[in-house]
Every structure is written in structure tokens, then in C-alpha cells.
Amino acid sequence: MKVSGSVSRKFGAETGNFPAVWEFVSQVLTEYGVDEAVLMQIELGVEEVFVNIASYAYPGTKGEAEVAVSVEDGAAILRFTDSGVAFDPLAAPAPDTDLPAEERQIGGLGIYLVKEMMDDVSYRYEDGKNVLVIKKLLRA
């Protein structure tokens, strides 16, 4: 089991690359001894964030997303960085989950779920890059 440190890797920002992204993230977190129940929650967050980058960050062109994984102070920390269109997903209003699905506006549910499942989610735009960080405490 690892004690600390960050590992990162770049992926083409294409939805078809999600399995490779998850393989990378899960391998690193498994080396840290992260529990399977926590891994399942993290997988949903990683999928939502990466697929959104792949779908919206580079309209009409191709780009990359860097995924960094670390475990610090009892938490898994995942940082997603891309050079795509500046977009703060945390600024979007929360969806009205009281409405029936067919009456809700499209969009926003995924990041809402990420914010609900993770213990901390932050966004910043710096040096021409979107940086989204999700943090999950390592308890089942």
C-alpha cells in the first residue's frame, strides 16, 4: 500500500477513452488500498467529469485531459485538467429534482450527482486551463 504522492496521465478527450481512464485511476487507488465501495462511488464521479470534458471541452476539434490521482490525509484526490473552452460546472444551477424527469431541463444532473457523492469539488481556471478537483474521503 502506498503512503502518498500524485500520479498523472494524459488521455485523448474522447468518450471512448473512459475505460482507459478508469483503469488508470482504479489501479492507482487500488495500490493505495482504497475500499471497493469507495471505488464504485469514485468511478461514477470520474466517468461524469471525463465524459463531460470529452463531450464539451473541445467543440469541433480534439484535445487532451490530464488526470492526476493522489491519496492524502485520508482522501482520494482526483484532478482533471484540460485546455478546452473555459467552463465552471459548479456555477450551473442545481437541477430541480422534485420535478418529474420529463419536465426537467436537460443538463446539470451529472455534476449535481458528483457534488452529492464526493466530499469536496472545486473548480478554477488558470493559465488557460480548466482544473476540476474532486475529493472523496476513504471511508465506506
| 13 within some domain | yes
Domain with 117 in it: 6-137
| 80 within some domain | yes
| 1 within some domain | no
pTM of the shown model = 0.86
The CATH number that applies at residue 72 is 3.30.565.10
Read off the pLDDT of residues 5-55 as tens digits, 9 standing for 90 and up: 789 999 999 999 999 999 999 999 999 999 999 999 999 999 999 999 999
Q: What is the pLDDT of residue 115?
A: 83
| 113 within some domain | yes
| 64 within some domain | yes
Please give, one letter per residue, the 3-state secondary structure of the chain.
Answer: CCCCCEEEEEEECCHHHHHHHHHHHHHHHHHCCCCHHHHHHHHHHHHHHHHHHHHHHCCCCCCEEEEEEEEECCEEEEEEEECCCCCCHHHCCCCCCCCCHHHCCCCCHHHHHHHHHCCEEEEEEECCEEEEEEEEECCC
Number of structural domains (the chain) is 1
Read off the pLDDT of residues 92-135 as tens digits, 9 standing for 90 and up: 766 555 545 555 455 555 677 888 889 999 999 999 999 999 99
